Amino acid sequence: MEENKKTSNDQNESAEQKPGVKQFFQLGEVGGYFFRKKDPSRFSDVNIRMMHGINKISIIVFILGILYIILRRFF
């Protein structure tokens, strides 16, 4: 009887940990990178701003490239 309780608990835990489609399409860190508020306590100079600007451009170009490959594949 205790074994049945353990297996049902294990099944519930595995069902909770299984990622869904909603979690797959979450922006997470990338979305936070583009849409975050300016932190006045964070150190900022020209080099850091340039680095973050180039990183944002490279992420956008990468996403556009992936979309182009996907669209070219299906159309």
The predicted-structure confidence for 17-63, as pLDDT tens digits, reads as follows: 676 766 666 667 767 777 777 778 888 889 988 998 899 899 899 99
Q: CA–CA separation, 39 vs 32, rounded Å?
A: 13
Q: CA–CA separation, 75 vs 70, rounded Å?
A: 9
- Regarding pTM above 0.75, the answer is no
The pLDDT of residue 9 is 53
